[in-house]
Structure 1
Amino acid sequence: MSSPLPASTDTIDAAAAQWIARRDRGLSATEQDDYMAWLRADPRHAAAIARHAAVLERMMGLGAWQPELSAEPNPDLFAPPARRPWRVLAPVFALAAALVLGLFVWQSASPPAPTPQKTFLRVNERQALADGSVVELKDGSRLDMRFTSGERRVRLTGEAHFTVAKNPARPFIVEALGVEVRAVGTAFNVRVDAASVEVLVTEGKVRVDEPARLAAMSAPTPTAPAPAEPEVFLTAGQQVVVPLAASAPAPVVATVSKAQIRTALEWQTPRLQFFETPLAEAVTEFNRHNPNPLVLADSALGSVPIGGTFRVDNVEGFVRLLELTVDVRSEPRADGAVVLKRAR
């Protein structure tokens, strides 16, 4: 009897796109186990997830792009299609485009009627846990809690920042794709990616246990050998990336700067979210949260529909994206205001 043929690249890519979509809305405990089994079944699976996730990550980075740090965003993301329409691109790119932050979208076809909304400010979900700890969840992330008298355990899908209430008798454990982050009273960020778990400590100290070490510590026989991997401890200002691949090298603890910490946590910044919103309304919303106002010199510009999600404090990035995607130019005034005009 012949062996089954290996899955084609197209089949793997389609499955990877589906897993990315599931991860975005949050994996259940059973789905997390299935996801790990699928990743380990074929090395091409992790490569496909990483490839598609990199595309999505690259596009989502536009939401935090600030012109004062780089003169231009990646031009490929704004270049008009030269050879083929977007409809023929692979499904994963459609998924990435649908989730991108800060990217304007105008469609020639009439879109479905949006749900009327006048509240554009979007903040991350914050949960006050029963023990006094506080969790801030990034969009699309999910948390499952299992508190007992001996420990406080949560299972994370996505990314979250934890501020843990001190209780030495009940350690706080974050479980993410087989990796465990153990703390007593501290503040730290955990990010679950396609092929790794990233931990960043902003206060206190945590211990990070890899899947291999956990398996060795939980061996049923008392004569089980000591865990092969050393303990990994992090203190404030340190970060570690734990790869999920079985053959990956041991993680290395790195010291990060305050600027790097700000970059890693900038997802916590409140954002303004628009969908087919008239530019005049978007300008009004930005002006609510910033001291230097935007001014529309041409009233006809106010009816131009825009869409996207933007940091409330990133007015300059919003203006630059308007200049790149709409027939608009900007002129700063001496009083700090920025005037938006039609480009001539």
Structure 2
Amino acid sequence: MREKAATWFAAMRGPDAEIMRKDFEAWLAQDPLHREAYSRIAEIFSLGKGLTAPVSQRQPAVDAKGFGRIRQLLIAMSLVVVPLAGGAWMLDRLGLPFDASGAMRTKPAPLTALRAEFATRLGQISRIRLADGSVLTLDTNSKIDIVFDRTARHLRLRSGRARFDVAHESRPFVVSAGMGQVTAHGTVFDVALQPDGRVAVRLLRGVIDVALPGGTSGMLTRKAVIERLSAGQQVVMAETILTGARTLASPIDVNWPTGKLDCDRAPLATVARAANRYGDVQIELADPAIGNLRVSGTIRIDEPRKLADRLALLFDLRVDRSHPSRLVLRSRAPEELDVKSASPSQQDRTS
């Protein structure tokens, strides 16, 4: 898989990238491990770009003849460069007078900077292991920028939602979104940019600090606001306002990285809204009262068509597919079944 990922990485930096893009994207979609392997190669390439070489040794942009050479170099780097960089950093942290090759050095060796960008398409959930050992999970239609340097690990969520399982180390792990930022050292938390511009931060494990910076606007001076969260708590940032931490009893989307909802009498309307974030086909409700039906159990939300069929079967509804981009849930026989006065067994179902 490493060789295949290196082959694709070299190809997509070559002159025939656009011609091969369709096949490349199909390969990525075949298996989440393909994307993870490709991302790892991209990280390694970024590390390599940070290694300064004499001008006479620098190579021109990749051409067709250099394809094989670049591919082989990437494979070799995937086996050597990352451990070497980690070893150099560790030697530096220990204050030992040696570089990674074992030679004496007169001053601390700089930690190679890492810059990367990851994005997911509609319906995709991607799990990425970062160079420091942290694990990043990007939700559907999301984008994030990453910059690691010697003193800190910086990430900026540009759109969508992400989960961060942070590896513990001395450098702070800082996630920026909107006007605020989250600081963690070793923990698990979600950050979501909502459609209305608000930023929701939810902590699953550990402790984090959520902060809005101070500033001056006209004649008014705004103090910085910091809120410390404990496991199970959530805050929301809306421009210059940071809500107080509140505890969420049992959020249905805590397992969103697996493409599932954990429903405990969740309104059908809530389930439909969650599913609609993942598909080009939207689930709609013909009657608002249908949205009040309650669903319990584990529901997959990354396959809207299957979900619509299962909900229809569960509540004796029918799926109207007359529109290519909508799946409308309707009562099967309105004159016989009034959803508003349905029996308890119809109002509350377990999937």
State the TM bucket, normalised to the shorter chain: 0.3 to 0.5
Instruction: Choose 1 or 2 for highest CA Rg.
Output: 2
Task: Identify which of structures 1 and 2 has the higher relative contact order when contacts are C-alpha pairs closer than 8 Å and 6+ apart.
Answer: 1
Q: TM-score, normalised by structure 1?
A: 0.40
Higher strand share: 2
